[in-house]
């Protein structure tokens, strides 16, 4: 039995996964993202201890899926956004070695998402596939010839910060990185809400902040401004997908994250772009919605942990 951990910007999830890939126990908590890197990892350690006490199970290894650019070899966070205090430079592996004393791994959260979908979800059986997560930000991961491709600096797949000008006027849309006209500027949950409020004016005043489900409900109920911002996000995702297909000769893309809950609203834009700009290879680009929901990162981290103890998972 192994443990998988998803350290997210708002919440942390720990799952215990058996040799058949089944989640046998789980526990969550509020991520102390504005406190320190030490506090974030310690929460994960505490949640593992609580689950062990509750179930009588002790994991043989643990995998951590975490936001930011990570170094899997040193198990350290190389770079992270300002949303995580004291995260950049923090040695996650050293903390786990000290507190748990079991084999442990560190994986970028979007890479973990894709590993989860490869092991248990929409990407099962594929050797070449990319993943995009649409949440507070936009992330990407690439899996080539049966292995994650992370690049020499560990930053491969950062699709959220790829420039795009599909949507008219998008050139001035701000991105969280300080630049503009990026995929994240229009397809993240935060950007979709910001763009809706700018268009809807006073009629958006009663929309709860950060409530993507409520915004999607407005779009489904006939709110044109709401429907348009989701459709435009779809167009941008379609462009990113075609760029990936052309660059890496990929035929599959899995889309997850909270915004994918509005799949019915973003998929038409994706399909529109693909119809107008098909991959130059001529083969069909298959774009699927992720299947694992909020468990994808933790399950992918558990798959990484499983590899440390060389016990195959029955999928």
For the domain that residue 56 is a member of, what is the CATH number? Answer: 3.30.420.40
Is residue 314 situated within a structural domain? Answer: no
**What would the mean pLDDT of 217-229 be, rounded to a whole number?**
98
CB distance 139 to 132 below 8 Å:
yes
Residues 6+ apart with CB under 8 A from 104: 61, 62, 63, 64, 75, 92, 93, 96, 97, 305, 308
Which residue segment(s) compose the domain that 41 sits in?
2-115+294-308
Token pair of 191 as six digits: 């950007």
Q: Are residues 140 and 248 in the same domain?
A: yes
Q: Are residues 177 and 244 in the same domain?
A: yes
Q: Are residues 161 and 31 in the same domain?
A: no
Q: Are residues 110 and 139 in the same domain?
A: no
Given a cut of 60, is residue 313 above it in pLDDT? no
Is residue 313 situated within a structural domain? Answer: no
Q: Are residues 299 and 286 in the same domain?
A: no
Q: What is the pLDDT of residues 66-81, one digit of tens each?
A: 988 899 999 999 988 8
Q: Specify the higher pLDDT residue, 163 or 104.
A: 104
Q: Are residues 189 and 88 in the same domain?
A: no
Q: What is the pLDDT of residue 225?
A: 97
226 to each of 113, 127, 200, 263, how far by Cα in Å?
28, 37, 8, 14
Q: What's the half-sphere exposure (Cβ side, CA atoms, 13 Å) at 273?
A: 23
Q: How far apart are CA 231 and CA 268, in angstroms?
A: 7
Q: Are residues 188 and 219 in the same domain?
A: yes
Q: Are residues 263 and 189 in the same domain?
A: yes
Confidence of residue 165 (pLDDT cuts 50, 70, 90): low
Whole-number percent of the chain with pLDDT over 70: 95
Residues 6+ apart with CB under 8 A from 245: 251, 253, 279, 281, 285
**What would the mean pLDDT of 247-254 be, rounded to a whole number?**
93
- pTM score, whole prediction: 0.90
Q: Are residues 262 and 131 in the same domain?
A: yes
Q: Are residues 156 and 258 in the same domain?
A: yes
Residues 6+ apart with CB under 8 A from 190: 136, 137, 176, 210
Q: Are residues 176 and 286 in the same domain?
A: yes
Tally of domains in the chain = 2
Given a cut of 50, is residue 87 above it in pLDDT? yes
CB distance 268 to 227 below 8 Å:
no
Query: Which residue bears the tokens 């990162």?
Result: 297
Q: Are residues 81 and 192 in the same domain?
A: no
- What is the SS3 assignment for 310? coil
Q: What is the pLDDT of residue 10?
A: 86
Helices (H), 131-223: 184-187, 189-200, 212-220
Given a cut of 60, is residue 315 above it in pLDDT? no
């Amino acid at each position: 039995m192994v443990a998988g951990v998803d350290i997210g910007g708002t919440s942390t999830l720990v799952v215990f996964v058996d040799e058949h890939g089944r989640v046998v126990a789980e526990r969550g908590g509020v991520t102390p993202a504005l406190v320190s890197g030490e506090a974030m990892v310690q929460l994960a350690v505490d949640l593992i201890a609580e689950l062990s006490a509750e179930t009588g199970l002790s994991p043989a290894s643990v995998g951590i899926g975490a936001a930011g650019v990570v170094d899997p070899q040193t198990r350290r966070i190389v770079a992270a956004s300002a949303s995580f205090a004291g995260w950049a430079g923090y040695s996650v592996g050293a903390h786990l070695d000290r507190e748990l004393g079991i084999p442990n791994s560190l994986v970028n959260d979007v890479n973990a998402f894709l590993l989860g979908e490869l092991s248990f979800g929409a990407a099962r059986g594929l050797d070449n596939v990319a993943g995009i997560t649409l949440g507070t930000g936009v992330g990407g991961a690439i899996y080539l010839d049966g292995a994650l491709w992370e690049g020499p600096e560990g930053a491969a797949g950062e699709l959220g910060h790829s420039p795009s000008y599909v949507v008219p006027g998008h050139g001035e849309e701000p991105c969280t990185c300080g630049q503009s006209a990026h995929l994240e500027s229009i397809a993240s949950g935060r950007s979709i809400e910001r763009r809706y409020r700018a268009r809807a004016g006073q009629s958006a005043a009663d929309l709860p902040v950060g409530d993507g489900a409520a915004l999607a409900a407005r779009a489904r109920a006939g709110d044109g401004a709401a429907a348009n911002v989701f459709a435009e996000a779809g167009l941008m995702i379609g462009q990113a997908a075609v760029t990936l297909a052309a660059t890496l000769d990929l035929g599959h893309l899995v889309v997850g994250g909270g915004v994918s809950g509005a799949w019915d609203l973003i998929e038409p834009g994706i399909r529109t772009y693909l119809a107008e700009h098909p991959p130059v290879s001529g083969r069909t680009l298959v774009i699927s919605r992720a299947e694992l929901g909020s468990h994808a990162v933790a399950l992918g981290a558990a798959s990484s942990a499983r590899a440390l103890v060389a016990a195959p998972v029955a999928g």
